Chain A
């Protein structure tokens, strides 16, 4: 187990470094520079700015310096969007907003998705099952921007209405309804489909027959015996999804003007704010990769039937 964990951890770190390198490489091939605004500054100013922020050095040196600073917890300062403010500060300000919306969205996705999946599996072949299946398929066929913008067109109103169009934290709970719904719909449908098929799997197993033969009540069979095993695939899906949803439904944040990390990431690309692009990517990637790592480990702990791969083969 320790060996497995170490191996996974090693993979996770290598992946993260790889992502950082890819990002750095891609970022530098995008033409344009952070200094370009409406009025183009003189070449001398650009050179001076490049020198000040170390952009005149060869890329490999820049990357080396970046990693050196990164291990000290320093991600540099923003070049354009919030000039000279440390990237770490910006991330710490943006992340809680994204995280809150993401957490609520996922919470309702799980709380609704899993029971719906169980209901569908229990009523297999009946109209409830068909209905849920249709709804689920439609749900995973609608990109989140479609859901978000349709909600916005259909329901969105001013700040005073029940569903404000523009997200403002000061508006309290009602500001969260639409973004959270839009963000959670896809995972909800996905989870319910997943829960249905794994529930069906579980219900066909021998230990369920045993449980029934013992004379247990239906509810006990489903909730105590079947559900536990049926949840494993849901957990696997949730791991990466948690990270991703918490870090930002890029689209949902853009549509509802939520000042979150996802929206900021897109803007930083458009503005060529190099340290900010690097910072947000590394942060998001680290979050996602370590969530995957965590789930991999959890998976083995939860389900003892899974055998660890033996070294080599």
Chain B
């Protein structure tokens, strides 16, 4: 058919009026026997060259590729995914593995020789203090009171070398990555030891593996919560929009009600209350759901719930709006005339037509879910030990912030980069899928 119009057009090009949108019907009605011949390979090829078919997604992808910012964001997201999912396989430590002797490592180390030098000074100071105290005690003949001890300590301290100055004077430089002393000895013996790239926490757990797992957890929560929101919101919104009238009025009242609930308050309570409830449920039997909870942990599930239960309203509103517009269009009347049921119309005809909006809203939901998860974990009601997330890592780091500031800075940076990348990618996706929205 397409081939035929092509042929008639090329046969009589002078009959087509320029600027006219009216198809040239007269020629179409004149059917000749050769119109029914199958097209030759050559004709097919020329047709394809004339107009290559582009699908909606191809077109969107082309637009997205032109957007440099979102391509960079996409690259960052892919890197983060690799970091979170492949990374833990590379690093030989477990996220909940206590590496004894390697507690509180910095992301740098001194070589064994330098370490000995430093030890000699710091050990020296302690010894000298003890010696001075013993001397004073012997001189006085009785136990010293705390004031005298403090005085001696001050005197000794003023004469000992400051450790930092000592390190600077002897030109001791720290080297990248953290190793404990025993690990350094093993390296000296010729063994290969994987470094603690970001140091370790106070239980000797490797910070990098925890960071990877934390990124994975935050990402999973973001994606799963967004999908849950999509599921509830799309179902609710399409039903409300499609049936309209009283159903719509009632359903939208409920949405309005939930919309005006201060969500952070309820989410805080909800995630606190759900966790123990899910734990008891998990221990109550061995069915499919219990296993699922066991697999993901009651922690994560309660966060999904809290998020899914309150944040679907925006999605429902958007989808309802789209459906209200779409359902009046002719193709829906046509499907209805062909006898399709409501469920089929919604699933097969209405929802696929708002796919652009759905994808964009879901994608922009991911960073806000990650945001909320980290917020809850930071306050101590989200993901809890031994599982970890970026928010709980930052929360744990807060107590030792003065000495071990890097423990807070690293997850904080990863978290911000992740949210930024998702935000930018979502924005790009919106421009690509729905150019009308571009400002």
What is the interface of chain A, defined by CB distance below 8 A to chain B? 11-12, 14-15, 18-19, 22-23, 26-27, 29-31, 137-138, 140-146, 149-150, 152-153, 156, 197, 200, 244, 250-251, 254-255, 265-266, 269-270, 277, 281, 284-285, 288-289, 292, 312
Q: Indicate whether A146 sits within 8 Å of B416 (C-beta atoms), given known contacts A15-B257, A18-B261, A30-B272.
A: yes
Interface Cβ pair total, 8 Å cutoff:
119
- Quick one: which of B256, B257, B265, B415 has the most chain A CB within 10 A? B265
Docked-complex contact A26 and B261, CB < 8 angstroms: no
Kindly list chain A residues whose C-beta atoms are within 8 Å of the C-beta of B371: 143
What is the interface of chain B, defined by CB distance below 8 A to chain A? 249, 256-257, 260-262, 264-266, 268-270, 272-273, 276-277, 367, 371, 374-375, 378-381, 391, 394, 397-398, 401, 405, 408-409, 412, 415-416, 419-420, 423-424, 439
Kindly list chain B residues whose C-beta atoms are within 8 Å of the C-beta of A141: 367, 416, 419-420, 423
Q: How far is the CB of B269 from chain A (nearest CB, A)?
A: 4
Docked-complex contact A250 and B412, CB < 8 angstroms: no
Main secondary structure of the interface of B (DSSP, over half): helix
Indicate which residue in B261, B273, B276, B391 contacts A15 across the interface (CB closer than 8 Å): B261
Kindly list chain B residues whose C-beta atoms are within 8 Å of the C-beta of A281: 265, 269
Kindly list chain B residues whose C-beta atoms are within 8 Å of the C-beta of A137: 420, 423-424
Kindly list chain B residues whose C-beta atoms are within 8 Å of the C-beta of A31: 276
Main secondary structure of the interface of A (DSSP, over half): helix
Q: How far is the CB of B63 from chain A (nearest CB, A)?
A: 19
Kindly list chain A residues whose C-beta atoms are within 8 Å of the C-beta of B276: 29-31
In addition to A143-B375, A149-B394, A250-B264, 9 A-B residue pairs with Cβ atoms within 8 Å of each other are: A11-B256, A19-B266, A23-B265, A30-B272, A138-B416, A143-B415, A149-B401, A250-B268, A284-B265
Docked-complex contact B423 and A26, CB < 8 angstroms: no
In the complex, 22 of the A-B residue pairs with CB atoms within 8 angstroms, ordered by the A residue number, are: A14-B257, A19-B265, A26-B270, A27-B269, A29-B276, A29-B277, A137-B423, A141-B367, A141-B423, A143-B378, A144-B375, A145-B374, A145-B391, A149-B398, A149-B412, A150-B408, A254-B379, A269-B381, A270-B380, A277-B269, A285-B262, A289-B260
Cα of A29 to Cα of B275 in the assembled complex, Å? 10
Docked-complex contact B260 and A292, CB < 8 angstroms: yes
Write the chain A residue with the least CB distance to B416. Answer: A142
Docked-complex contact B423 and A30, CB < 8 angstroms: no
Q: Indicate whether A153 sits within 8 Å of B401 (C-beta atoms), given known contacts A137-B420, A146-B416, A250-B379.
A: yes
Cα of A254 to Cα of B257 in the assembled complex, Å? 30
Cα of A284 to Cα of B267 in the assembled complex, Å? 14
Cα of A29 to Cα of B261 in the assembled complex, Å? 20
Q: How far is the CB of A86 from chain B (nearest CB, A)?
A: 21
Cα of A35 to Cα of B245 in the assembled complex, Å? 52
Kindly list chain A residues whose C-beta atoms are within 8 Å of the C-beta of B260: 11-12, 15, 289, 292
Docked-complex contact A29 and B273, CB < 8 angstroms: yes
Cα of A79 to Cα of B415 in the assembled complex, Å? 38
Kindly list chain B residues whose C-beta atoms are within 8 Å of the C-beta of A277: 269
Docked-complex contact A138 and B262, CB < 8 angstroms: no
Write the chain A residue with the least CB distance to B411. Answer: A146
